[in-house]
Structure 1
Amino acid sequence: MKTFFPGLVNDGGAPPRRRFMRQLCSTALLGATGLGATACSSTGAGMADGHDVNFLHGVASGDPLADRVVLWTRVTPRNAQETRDVAVQWQLAGDPEMRQLLASGSVATGPEQDYTVKVDAGGLLPGQVYFYRFSTAGAKSPLGRTRTLPKADVRQVRLAVFSCANYPAGYFNVYADAARQHDLDAALHIGDYIYEYESTGYACADAVALGRVSEPREQLMALGDYRRRYAQYRSDPDLQALHASLPFITVWDDHEIADDTWRDGAAEHKGSRSGPFSLRKAAAIRAYHEWLPIRAPEPARPERIYRSFDFGRLLSLHMLDTRVIGRDQQLMVASYFDAGDSFDADKYRHDVASPRRQMMGREQLDWLERQVAGSRARWQVLGQQVLMARMEYPAPVVMGKISRADYVALKARARSDPASISASERACLAAPTLPCYLDSWDGYQNDREQLFGIMQRQRKNLVVLAGDTHNAWASDLRDGGGRQVGVEFATASVSSPGLECSYPERHPDDVARMMEQLIEPLYYAQTSKRGYMIVTASGDEVRCDWRFVDTVHSRQFSAATERSLRTLAGAGNRKIVECQS
């Protein structure tokens, strides 16, 4: 739990995208009417009774390159005790009617890989839209749409960015809205695709009423547990619709394994009760690779998922792992208070900046520098999990001497009536800031400085994408010397609750403004709504549009773009500015 700062219809002459979207929207509509995943599944060919296997979890594509893309599905045997392998056929075409077949093949699957199917379909053309489907034993999967990355110059790239989808916390209306967009190139999921909690755990208060009680009921520990949880999430009609419409590019955060995961452990994992963490981590990583359309850069090292994607010469996307492969254990603010409740600020600052503390690990940092140095793209974009911006509080707030709200009120009074400020209040306002969210880059400051150094040496335009906190943020990125390095856009959650739960008596807008006044590099905050980002890159700018839904507790919802910000290219820019329109 995050505790931040505490079968296709032929439409005749309609364009392929439009024909595909009409089918996709009709599938999503079944979910919106409350008929659930079973009804949604029945819209795909081959879902009727009578087949020995069915495609109950839809289709997906991912990790697109200029000449290939990973295609995914899963077959579900009617007999739950089935142990035989199944031969699955796949087809890829240039049209949604599947008349222009371009590639096909057959692949075997079985219980060893939880009946999931992954095909790395190669020999494709760059920047092209393709359609695909699977079949076996008379059953046919729903239709999927995907696209390869452009290789030549491209004028624009549009990416949808998601994080923190908690099944019992609410419906995936955010996914539904994104599936209805017509001009996205790919979906980026930057962590917490599933949650590992037991059914009575985090954010489950409405699960029974919504019909979204977690399965299995126990906290995930073994391979079978993780597989069942992925199966439940992938039964969701809105997630299925989004996967069927766009290729996904993903990295994990902590909840795909366990809360506050680090290299050798997690916050709530007790080896004496749950067994070795290494076994749990291995099980979680295996299920992740089975259920998501990801191409392992090194199959012999499934824990290594950092990799790059080039969208022509416009954008290089580097997907990082800041969670598993290199991270040292998180520090705890509480451990720097002594028995007399005195806070050791000097030791605290020393430890969070220690060069011994790693978040990415040396191997991944060296890899990133090679990727950035070799990239000819206008923009270097990092898809990663946790906040990179300095989200520091004034020291008196961190040490509990004054509340956040009272500190902001004191700042306001100092501006409006400076004569009323006492000496002790002036000292409070003059105190330095301290990092307080040590699960983020603030707890691993040496790695952050090294990453910033890479971008400065290579003179690159940097945009960082983040998730994890369930809230939306936009911040300028500055190194330890105060030099502007780039910007960070952070997405709200798909369904997990945000800071509104920490301040139930305050208006959400007041909470967001309080954060903006407390945290100096923070430009924008939205701390109470569920949503996602649409990031649009062109030669001159990268623009971020934050889209939010009005509810995740009803299938009937509305969505709107609430805020738009951008950054401009060039050494004199690389900071957050307002959009012109």
Structure 2
Amino acid sequence: MLNMSINSLSRRRFILQTLKSSGFCIASSGIAGTLTSCGGDDGTFEHGVASGDPLSDSVIIWTRVTPLKPEHTNSAVTVFWQVATDPEFNQVVVSGSAKTTAERDYTLKVDIGSLQPATQYYYRFLSGFRSSPVGFTKTLPEGEVTSTKLAVVSCSNYPAGYFHVYNAIAQRTDLDAVLHLGDYIYEYARGEYASENAAALNREVLPETEILSLADYRARYAQYRSDPDLQAAHHNQPFICVWDDHEITNDAWRNGAENHQENEGPYATRLQAALQAYAEWMPVRPPVDSDIAALARNFQFGNLVNLNMLDTRLVARDKQLQLSDYFDADGTFNAAAYGADIGDPERSLLGQDQRSWLQHQLTTPAKWQVLGQQVLMGTMELPAAVVTQQLSIAEFAELAQLAQLAQTNPEALSEAQRQLLAEKGPLLQLGNLPYNLDAWDGYPAERAALLASAQQIQGDLVVLAGDTHNAWANNLRLNDEAVGVEFATSSVSSPGLESFLGLTTPESVAQTESALTQLIPNLQYANLSDRGYLSLSFSPSEVRAEWIFVSNIQDTHYDLLAERNQSLTVAHGSKQISTS
């Protein structure tokens, strides 16, 4: 166990050492072979199997063994594994064995190498006379590629509702990979965030308390990975994952988090526990040495898609600004102080090492340069009166219409409308503010630097985001020049702005979605109420983004919500969303 403060070791080395020491076995392997039994009867595979971080010649496979006998709970368990090109395992291409122990919570990861590119594989694990479920995975293609299909998902909150979104992804047979952009688990205790119906749904969290220790984080992952829909998605698709904040705790940054208090112990201890559990339970490739690329990983789908997965949370993020800190005692907003802080050129999400790594990766020739990361990059500024909750979005839109009418046809105003304008009209002149300073809007200098770099690359920039629990599409511009696009996925189950804004009817949702796309210049699409995922189809000529939603998360049965699905395209070379 590492026993140190974050300041006693660089954040990057701290994270890398934790990940490298957790949850990975070096397995022996052999070419071909048939395992009819392994002897003994050591454990079961209650948490299923998973694969992840596919490359053209390798992929991670994962499982966890639940020891059957009490005497095995403190001893090593031997697990055999096989990889084949057919689901019956008549054509086994590689097999081997490894041991796992309580030190890594009986999880097991194997990096299977010497595979063929663009090839489908089946895999399984065996313990004694018991076999795991069969998993399906595939390697990435090389060379000339004409099609890549990805599903993008984030924010799965167990007590909020059923994981139907994972079930829908599991049924896809055309995907090359699933990108999970974080908030795979949530840290809260029972009765807290999004838990209103948890008892009725039999989805109350384990442990009952907020998770702080390694045992807590392990138990929470075990509960999530017991969900049949999440298991199905992992069984059927290779995942490429990054963490966001809730894998640790809400609004994490490099030295702390909003949801970590002094009476909960040192933040460094909690961070270490969270990262160790993540390394044990997630199908991610362990870091190599101290290279930042081990955290910010690159995946190449031939010459079509160059995917870079980023860490905007733990390595370098400066603490988030809070708008409430800039209001004086009399309620006056201190614009000068806010402007100085928000404009600080040193404020960072990525850090210099990760920025340099990314700039190098973006030189890789590909039609589409894709960033998989956590938070919205698009400029999402709203009228200050809305951000400070003096007016709702609908009220602001109505007031703006009245102000326009007062200029063009003042006689048409009623007396009540005149009084409303006299009282509230000055709020229209307050300017705009970012609604979420946890996103790239809170770090505009680094965003501008990244977009400036993107202007120089070969290929078109596509940024992916999660975090907000709602679906968005943005044009990314710098100095009024098109640089790329951003597609943001909705959540698996976490509630979005519809809950925060109290949008209880389809009419109020539609009205607010329309108002947002009018108020935010580069926002091309918003869905504020539905749970779902983002499906991306890349070709040399275009990328097509389709948001796919489920009808509910409160009932065991669901349908795809076809009437709310949305599809947008970006022609290669245009660097902006098509309006046709």
- TM-based fold match above 0.5: yes
State the partner residue of 2:258.
267
Q: Which one of 115, 119, 122 corresponds to residue 131 of structure 1?
A: 122
Distance 2:391 2:332 in 1: 15
The answer to whether residue 325 in structure 2 is matched with residue 324 in structure 1 is no
State the partner residue of 1:577.
578
State the partner residue of 1:18.
none
- 1:569 offset after TM fit, Å? 1.5
State the partner residue of 1:14.
none
State the partner residue of 1:41.
none
Does the 8 Å CA contact 2:154/2:183 hold for their aligned counterparts?
yes
Distance 2:158 2:69 in 1: 26
* Matched ranges for 1:45-60 at <5 A: 51-60=41-50
Distance 1:167 1:303 in 2: 31
State the partner residue of 1:396.
385
* Matched ranges for 1:225-304 at <5 A: 225-271=216-262, 273-298=263-288
The answer to whether residue 563 in structure 2 is matched with residue 564 in structure 1 is no
Distance 2:189 2:370 in 1: 35
**Which moves more between the two structures, 559-568 or 66-75?**
559-568
Distance 1:124 1:266 in 2: 41
- What runs of 5+ residues in structure 2 fail to find an aligned partner? 1-34, 411-417
Does the 8 Å CA contact 2:41/2:127 hold for their aligned counterparts?
no
Q: RMSD of aligned C-alpha atoms? A: 2.1
Letter in 2 for 1:468: D
Does the 8 Å CA contact 1:470/1:497 hold for their aligned counterparts?
yes
The answer to whether residue 167 in structure 2 is matched with residue 173 in structure 1 is no
Letter in 1 for 2:375: V
* Matched ranges for 1:436-475 at <5 A: 436-475=435-474
Q: TM-score, normalised by structure 2?
A: 0.87
**Which moves more between the two structures, 54-63 or 417-426?**
417-426
Does the 8 Å CA contact 1:303/1:325 hold for their aligned counterparts?
no
Gap change, CA 1:426 and 1:568, over 3 Å in 2: farther
- 1:352 offset after TM fit, Å? 1.4
Distance 2:290 2:265 in 1: 24
**Which moves more between the two structures, 259-268 or 417-426?**
417-426
SS in 2 for 1:577: coil
SS in 2 for 1:210: coil
SS in 2 for 1:457: coil
Distance 1:160 1:114 in 2: 29
State the partner residue of 2:95.
104
Does the 8 Å CA contact 1:174/1:494 hold for their aligned counterparts?
yes
* Matched ranges for 1:477-556 at <5 A: 477-479=476-478, 481-502=479-500, 503-505=502-504, 507-556=508-557
Distance 2:178 2:52 in 1: 9
- 1:485 offset after TM fit, Å? 1.1
**Which moves more between the two structures, 242-251 or 389-398?**
389-398
Distance 1:576 1:415 in 2: 29
Distance 2:146 2:252 in 1: 39
Distance 1:459 1:411 in 2: 42
Q: Which one of 405, 409, 419 corresponds to residue 398 of structure 2?
A: 409
Letter in 2 for 1:386: V
Letter in 1 for 2:110: V
Percent identity over the alignment is 48
- 1:520 offset after TM fit, Å? 1.9
Letter in 2 for 1:393: L
Q: Which one of 104, 110, 118 corresponds to residue 119 of structure 1?
A: 110
Distance 2:90 2:257 in 1: 50
SS in 1 for 2:253: coil
State the partner residue of 1:33.
none
Q: Which one of 55, 62, 67 corresponds to residue 65 of structure 1?
A: 55
Letter in 2 for 1:559: L
Distance 2:400 2:69 in 1: 66
Does the 8 Å CA contact 1:53/1:139 hold for their aligned counterparts?
yes
- 1:353 offset after TM fit, Å? 2.0
Gap change, CA 1:192 and 1:387, over 3 Å in 2: same
Does the 8 Å CA contact 1:297/1:307 hold for their aligned counterparts?
no
The answer to whether residue 436 in structure 2 is matched with residue 433 in structure 1 is no
Gap change, CA 1:226 and 1:311, over 3 Å in 2: same
* Matched ranges for 1:154-233 at <5 A: 154-233=145-224
Gap change, CA 1:60 and 1:331, over 3 Å in 2: same
Letter in 2 for 1:448: R
Does the 8 Å CA contact 1:92/1:104 hold for their aligned counterparts?
yes
- What runs of 5+ residues in structure 1 fail to find an aligned partner? 1-44
SS in 2 for 1:176: helix
- 1:435 offset after TM fit, Å? 1.6
The answer to whether residue 339 in structure 2 is matched with residue 349 in structure 1 is yes
- 1:418 offset after TM fit, Å? 3.4
Distance 1:412 1:251 in 2: 43
Gap change, CA 1:432 and 1:304, over 3 Å in 2: farther
Does the 8 Å CA contact 2:293/2:357 hold for their aligned counterparts?
no
Gap change, CA 1:291 and 1:461, over 3 Å in 2: same
- 1:436 offset after TM fit, Å? 2.7
SS in 1 for 2:455: helix
State the partner residue of 2:31.
none
The answer to whether residue 335 in structure 2 is matched with residue 384 in structure 1 is no
Distance 1:195 1:313 in 2: 37
- 1:232 offset after TM fit, Å? 0.4
- 1:543 offset after TM fit, Å? 0.8
- 1:505 offset after TM fit, Å? 4.6
Distance 2:98 2:442 in 1: 45
SS in 2 for 1:282: helix
- 1:416 offset after TM fit, Å? 5.5
- 1:284 offset after TM fit, Å? 0.4
Q: TM-score, normalised by structure 1?
A: 0.87
Give the total of aligned pairs. Answer: 527
